[in-house]
């Protein structure tokens, strides 16, 4: 369907999971790149699509060097990849090597779908591309993968090909998954092509409900900050922390009070530790969200001053005051951000109106200008660190568009943070 100047394609139910799986394996801009165009619902469909993975192994053997090896196959609908597994002296190594980089990239994507942080690396001085993961990363992966690896270890132990103590250590990690802090369940963190997925899963409905209750006690709200799916039969249920939930938890860890603040601070620390275990890229994304959340309300608009460059020209922005209010219009709840500033000594009052739009309920802001567009762009860049989208219309007006990334920037200011947070909660799905 067409929405304004954009086209929207709607896919639901099992079709969405299948389409998302194809996007994950072969790439698509909705799951990559700029944060403002990542479709997080589609990312969640990809995560659910991991339930359709098949993992098997065979060919347990000893190599010429005396190492224990096996072949492990991960398949998803029409694609199957065979990896080599080596039980080494200090760790388990899962490896794939190829002279075809595009094939190696696909192999890494499939491994990430199985919950393992993996990247493609080129071997020194050779046109060979390698994808690897060792024990701790593998132990953070999907249960189907961990179960297959555990069976390899058990079989090697039964054959007398490895020490019992070493096998026990690896099996403890593989069968239980990694946990880094006493008292917390085993959350899994991974990137689904740009979107951070933070999820705890279990087939035990009591465990799921207990974790959901813990999050509520911390001050997080179901639907806004986390989602819950209860187990059905022998299928997994889960608690998933949404991006806004992690950011809000980080805010509470700074601005909360008493025992709540201590509990949330411990949770945020735990999530960052799990992110480190999942790999550098996962950690950087989690850290970015935590820092963004912790910074909310940390600055004041009044008296803010900054010099910025727009299209090669420098502008001095001085904020006099500002506020954000919710307003009803045609059945919709709008957010209006009003800012009074001086730009290069010229006083101006600007109003930025945000609303929810499109099938994904995205928060988008608009303002219109003529000759003043450059000054307004300078104000937005100074306050949020990002330039807005600028589009010239046929009537000569200039439409300026603001995305959720700009809204996150506005949330750093005390005068705006509460109203923005409440609007997001009220209008979110």
Query: Of 167 and 175, which is predicted with more confidence?
Result: 167
Query: Are 37 and 143 part of one and the same domain?
Result: no
Q: Cα–Cα distance between 131 and 118 in angstroms, integer?
A: 7
Does the structure show a pLDDT above 80 at 47? Answer: no
Where helices occur in 354-413 by DSSP H, the ranges are 373-384, 404-410
Which pLDDT belongs to residue 203? Answer: 82
On whether residue 152 sits in a domain, the answer given is yes
pLDDT reported for residue 258: 80
Q: What is the pLDDT of residues 76-119, one digit of tens each?
A: 766 889 999 999 988 999 999 999 998 898 888 888 778 777 78
Final residue of a structural domain among 17, 32, 52: 52
Same domain, 315 and 359: yes
Tokens of 205: 């409905």
Residues 406 and 315 in one domain: yes
Angstrom CA distances, 175 to 82, 164, 172, 412, stand at: 22, 16, 6, 42
Q: What are 19's two structure tokens?
A: 């389409």
Which H helix or E strand runs over 255? helix 243-255
Q: Is the pLDDT of residue 35 over 70?
A: no
Q: Using the 8-state DSSP alphabet, how is residue 299 labeled?
A: B
In this predicted structure, the answer to whether residue 161 has a pLDDT above a threshold of 70 is yes
Taking CB atoms within 8 Å and a gap of at least 24, the contacts of 164-172 are 170/92, 170/135
- How far is residue 163 from each of residues 87, 89, 415, measured CA to CA in Å? 11, 10, 63
Q: What is the rounded average pLDDT of the residues 327-337?
A: 90
Distance CA 112, CA 117 (A): 5
pLDDT at 21 over 60: no
Q: Which residues contact 58 (CB under 8 A, 6 or more apart)?
A: 70, 71, 73
**Average pLDDT of the segment spanning 377-395:** 87
Over residues 384-410, the mean pLDDT reads 85
Give the number of C-alpha atoms closer than 13 A to the C-alpha of residue 356, restricted to the C-beta side. 18
At residue 5 the predicted structure's pLDDT band, cuts being 50, 70 and 90, is very low
Residue 334: give the domain boundaries.
Answer: 305-427
**Contacts for 147 with CB less than 8 Å, ≥ 6 apart:** 55, 174, 175
Last residue of a domain, which of 155, 176, 197?
Answer: 176
| Residue 299 resides in a domain | no
The per-residue pLDDT for 178 is 52
The residue whose two tokens read 């389409």 is 19
CA 302 – CA 311 distance, rounded (Å): 26
Percent of the chain exceeding pLDDT 90 equals: 32
Comparing C-alpha atoms, which of 376, 342, 189, 391 is closest to residue 271? 189
Residues 243 and 347 in one domain: no
Question: Does residue 164 lie within any of the structural domains?
Answer: yes
**Structural domain count of the chain:** 4
Count how many Cα atoms sit within 13 Å of the Cα of residue 344 in the half-sphere of its side chain: 11
N- to C-terminal Cα separation, the chain: 21
pTM of the predicted model, to two decimals? 0.52
What's the pLDDT score for residue 235? 80
Same domain, 38 and 61: no
For range 252-257, the mean pLDDT: 85
DSSP 219-248: T--BTTTEEEE--BTTB-EEEEE-HHHHHH
Cβ(324)–Cβ(337) below 8 Å: yes
Spatial distance between the Cα atoms of 415 and 326, rounded to a whole number of angstroms = 14
Q: What is the pLDDT of residue 239?
A: 93
Q: Do 91 and 34 reside in the same domain of the chain?
A: no
Query: Which of these, 155, 46, 117, 82, lies nearest to 278 by C-alpha position?
Result: 117
- Residue 34, pLDDT score: 39
| pLDDT confidence tier of residue 36, bands split at 50, 70 and 90 | very low
For residue 297, count other CB atoms closer than 10 A to its CB.
19
Claim to verify: residue 5 and residue 43 sit in the same structural domain? yes
DSSP 15-84: HHHHHHHHHHHH--GGGSS-GGG--HHHHHHHHHHGGG-EEEEEEEEE-TTS-EEEEEEEEETTEEEEEE
Reading phi first (left if > 0) and then psi (alpha if -120 to 50, else beta), residue 183 is in left
Q: Are residues 39 and 81 in the same domain?
A: no
One domain for residues 31 and 80: no
Domain end point (choices 176, 196, 228): 176
pLDDT > 70: percent of the chain: 85
């Amino acid at each position: 369907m067409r929405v304004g100047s954009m086209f929207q394609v709607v896919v639901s139910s099992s079709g969405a999971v299948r389409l998302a799986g194809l996007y994950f394996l072969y790439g698509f801009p909705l799951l990559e790149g700029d944060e403002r165009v990542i479709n997080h619902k589609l990312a969640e469909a990809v995560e659910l699509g991991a339930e359709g993975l098949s993992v098997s192994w065979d060919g347990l053997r000893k190599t010429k060097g005396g190492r224990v090896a096996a072949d492990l196959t991960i398949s998803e609908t029409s694609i199957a990849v065979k990896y080599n597994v080596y039980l080494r002296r200090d760790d388990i190594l899962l490896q794939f090597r190829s002279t075809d980089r595009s094939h190696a990239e696909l192999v890494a994507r499939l491994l990430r779908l199985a919950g393992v942080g993996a990247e493609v690396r080129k071997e020194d001085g050779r046109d060979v591309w390698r994808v690897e993961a060792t024990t701790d990363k593998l132990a953070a992966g999907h249960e189907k993968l961990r179960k297959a690896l555990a069976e390899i270890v058990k079989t090697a132990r039964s054959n007398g090909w490895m020490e019992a103590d070493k096998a026990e250590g690896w099996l403890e990690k593989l069968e239980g998954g990694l946990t880094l802090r006493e008292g917390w369940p085993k959350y899994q963190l991974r990137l689904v092509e740009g979107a951070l997925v933070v999820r705890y899963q279990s087939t035990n409905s009591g465990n799921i409900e207990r974790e959901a209750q813990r999050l509520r006690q911390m001050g997080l709200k179901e639907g806004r900050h986390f989602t819950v799916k209860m187990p059905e039969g022998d299928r997994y249920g889960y608690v998933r922390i949404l991006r806004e939930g992690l950011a809000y938890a980080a805010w509470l860890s700074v601005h909360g009070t008493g025992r709540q603040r201590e509990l949330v601070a411990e949770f945020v620390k735990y999530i960052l530790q799990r992110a480190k275990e999942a790999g550098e890229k996962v950690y950087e994304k989690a850290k970015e969200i935590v820092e963004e959340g912790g910074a909310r309300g940390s600055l004041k608009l009044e008296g803010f001053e900054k010099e910025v460059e727009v299209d090669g020209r420098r502008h001095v922005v001085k904020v006099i005051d500002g506020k954000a209010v919710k307003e009803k219009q045609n059945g919709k709840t709008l957010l209006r951000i009003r800012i009074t500033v001086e730009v290069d000594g010229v006083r101006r009052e600007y109003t930025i109106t945000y609303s929810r739009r499109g099938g994904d309920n995205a928060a988008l802001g608009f303002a219109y200008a003529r000759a003043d567009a450059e000054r307004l762009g300078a104000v937005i860049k100074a306050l949020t660190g990002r330039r807005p989208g600028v589009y010239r219309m046929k009537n000569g007006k200039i439409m300026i568009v603001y995305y959720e990334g700009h809204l996150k920037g506005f949330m750093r200011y005390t005068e705006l943070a509460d109203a923005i947070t409440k609007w997001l909660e009220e209008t979110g799905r």
